[in-house]
């Protein structure tokens, strides 16, 4: 089994300014320029602002549930060495698209567009719980409902969704619902603004829109937490759980193969089967997401 080493960030300034953050690489590889003993070094980049999935801790160490799972995947692939660094979500995607990076982690959900551009392992890393936010009190009429049943009830109320990001994995969930329920399909207002959810709070409160989709981890940090940036909306908005959306590593179709993606999928499954994924989930999420969510079949 390969030994791993952790490269600590040299300066706090590098983290603050968003420069690439050096992380665990294979023993002997030192950099992404090459490996030893026939081991191929792969460039892996992750969104370093996606706690608890992937982030840089107070000691400058790259970690998070997704990052630690991928390190364990690396241990199961003796002919590869993962050179892992933190960066922005946009850079991770751009580098993967260009073939500069081999693997990207950014809490990515499945979409058909991503499946066309990248290899996606069949086995998910983990995922995130999605919430629907309403004006305070209106969420009570939907309590006990989840998934497509919840969406049908929202449609029956004539509620309007806040604009959804084109090509985003969250949007894909509503598009799939629409495809399965043409008689109760929502009109989707698309946007390319990835920061659009920052507007949802005021829009819903003011009645411009009725429903906004948020991820539970972000909602808890931004709204529920007393020091959250949007905590002022904590008593103005209420939420209902929608569903757990699976997340996957994105693998380059330029530099790697479907066979490699299948090996990654097998490795992730083994990590789940032996209970390690559940333990890491408890550590980073504070709960076993495979029991508390749980995930539906399919993507």
CA 114/CA 121 separation, integer angstroms: 12
Q: Give the pLDDT confidence score for residue 9 in this predicted structure.
A: 36
φ, ψ dihedrals at 114, nearest 5°: -65, -40
Residues sharing a CB contact under 8 Å with residue 207, sequence separation 6 or more, in sequence order? 135
Predicted local distance difference test score (pLDDT) of residue 36: 64
Domain locations along the chain:
4-127+247-292, 128-244
Count Cβ atoms within 10 A of the Cβ of residue 197 and give its class: 0-12 exposed, 13-18 middle, 19 or more buried: buried
The whole-angstrom separation of Cα 16 and Cα 88 is 12
pLDDT of residue 296: 82
Beta pairing partners, 247: 109, 126
Residue 76 is predicted with a pLDDT of 97
Alpha-carbon distance 171 to 186, whole Å?
Answer: 11
Question: Could you check whether the bond before residue 52 is cis, i.e. omega within 30 degrees of 0?
Answer: yes
Q: What is the pTM of this model?
A: 0.81
Supply the pLDDT for residue 18.
Answer: 40
Can you list the residues of the chain whose pLDDT is less than 70? 1-36
Residues 33-52 have pLDDT tens digits of 466 678 999 999 999 999 99
Q: Does domain 4-127+247-292 have CATH number 3.40.190.10?
A: yes
Which superfamily is assigned to 128-244 in CATH? Periplasmic binding protein-like II (3.40.190.10)
Output helix, strand, coil percentages for the chain, rounded to the nearest 5.
Answer: 40, 25, 35
């Amino acid at each position: 089994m390969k030994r791993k080493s952790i490269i600590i960030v040299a300066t706090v300034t590098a983290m603050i300014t968003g420069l690439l953050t050096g992380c665990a690489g294979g023993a002997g590889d030192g950099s992404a320029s090459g490996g030893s003993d026939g081991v191929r070094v792969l460039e892996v980049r992750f969104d370093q602002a996606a706690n608890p999935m992937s982030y840089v801790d107070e000691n400058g160490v790259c970690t998070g549930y997704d990052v630690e799972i991928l390190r364990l995947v690396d241990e199961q692939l003796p002919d590869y060495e993962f050179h892992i660094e933190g960066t922005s979500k946009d850079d991770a995607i751009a580098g993967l698209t260009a073939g500069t990076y081999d693997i990207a982690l950014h809490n990515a959900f499945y979409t058909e567009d991503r499946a066309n551009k990248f290899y996606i392992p069949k086995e998910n890393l983990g995922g995130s719980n999605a919430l629907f936010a309403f004006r305070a009190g209106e969420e009570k009429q939907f309590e006990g409902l989840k998934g497509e049943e919840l969406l049908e009830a929202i449609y029956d109320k004539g509620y309007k969704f806040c604009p959804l990001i084109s090509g985003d994995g969250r949007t894909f969930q509503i598009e799939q619902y629409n495809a399965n329920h043409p008689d109760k399909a929502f009109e989707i207002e698309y946007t390319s603004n990835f920061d659009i959810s920052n507007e949802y709070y005021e829009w819903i409160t003011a009645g411009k829109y009725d429903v906004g989709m948020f991820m539970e981890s972000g909602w808890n940090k931004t709204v529920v937490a007393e020091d959250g940036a949007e905590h002022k909306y904590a008593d103005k908005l209420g939420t209902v759980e929608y569903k757990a959306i699976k997340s996957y590593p994105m693998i380059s179709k330029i530099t790697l193969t479907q066979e490699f993606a299948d090996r990654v999928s097998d490795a992730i499954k083994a990590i789940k089967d032996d209970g390690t994924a559940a333990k890491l989930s408890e550590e980073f999420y504070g709960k076993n997401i495979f029991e508390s969510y749980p995930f539906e079949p399919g993507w």
